[in-house]
């Protein structure tokens, strides 16, 4: 088994080498901020545990509607992900989680797994919103239109609006 202090130092060095924005939150606990496009940023925990390095990122809150469609999408997407998978917490919020064995928890593997977290969280974000929050998006669009408010951050969902 890897010494906890050694693993902590290796993770710190690996994250610094990757030049990602991160902060230490205690021994073996790092909060990494991954910049995105659909999501402005994805916060991802990298936590040293006795048998592996745990990775967790919040993706989106519990869907308001179409739960079956959202969960079908997540399960199908899990088959194409590397090192992480979609999971639900106890209240139904959607997360990406994964584990990296201590032996391979270096810069290359962290880069690959964090890259997958970013690609999935950012790339799937609008699809998850469309599937699970379409009614809310339409209401928000109508509210902003009635008041002359900006629709800039809703443009990706223009195809959901019926004339």
CA-based nearest residue to 118, from 40, 10, 29: 40
The whole-angstrom separation of Cα 108 and Cα 81 is: 17
Q: What is the mean pLDDT of residues 59-64?
A: 98
What is the pLDDT, as a whole number, of residue 1? 44
pLDDT (0 to 100) of residue 4: 67
Tell me the two tokens of residue 34. Answer: 């991954």
Asked if 151 and 142 touch (Cβ cutoff 8 Å), the reply is no
Least confident residue range of 9-18, 77-86, 113-122: 9-18
Average pLDDT estimate for 92-111: 95
The yes-or-no verdict on residue 115 having pLDDT over 50 is: yes
User: What's the domain count of the chain?
Assistant: 1
Domain containing residue 112: CATH number: 3.30.1460.10
pLDDT score recorded for residue 98: 97
Helix axes 67-78, 107-147, angle to 10 degrees: 160
3 or 24: which leads in pLDDT: 24
- Residue 77: domain span: 4-160
- pTM of model > 0.95: no
| Alpha-carbon gap, residue 140 to 144, rounded angstroms | 6
> Which DSSP string corresponds to 69-131?
HHHHHHHHHHTT-SS-EEEE-TT--EEEEEEEEGGG-SHHHHHHHHHHHHHHHHHHHHHHHHH
- Rounded mean pLDDT of 60-67? 98
Among candidate residues 21, 29, 28, the one with its CA nearest the CA of residue 45 = 29
- Whether the pLDDT of residue 38 is over 70: the answer is yes
Question: What average pLDDT does the chain have?
Answer: 94
């Amino acid at each position: 088994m890897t010494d906890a202090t050694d693993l902590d130092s290796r993770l710190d060095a690996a994250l610094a080498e990757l030049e990602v924005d991160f902060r230490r939150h205690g021994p073996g606990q790092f909060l990494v901020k991954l910049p995105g496009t659909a999501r402005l940023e994805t916060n991802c925990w990298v936590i040293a545990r006795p048998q592996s390095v745990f990775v967790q990122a919040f993706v989106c809150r519990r869907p308001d509607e179409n739960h079956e469609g959202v969960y079908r999408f997540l399960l199908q997407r899990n088959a194409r992900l590397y090192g992480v998978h979609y999971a639900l917490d106890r209240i139904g919020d959607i997360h990406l989680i994964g584990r990296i064995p201590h032996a391979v928890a270096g810069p290359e593997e962290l880069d690959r797994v964090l890259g997958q977290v970013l690609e999935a969280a950012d790339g799937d974000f609008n699809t998850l919103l469309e599937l699970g929050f379409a009614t809310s998006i339409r209401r928000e669009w109508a509210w902003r239109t009635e008041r002359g408010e900006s629709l800039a951050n809703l443009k990706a969902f223009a195809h959901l609006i019926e004339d």
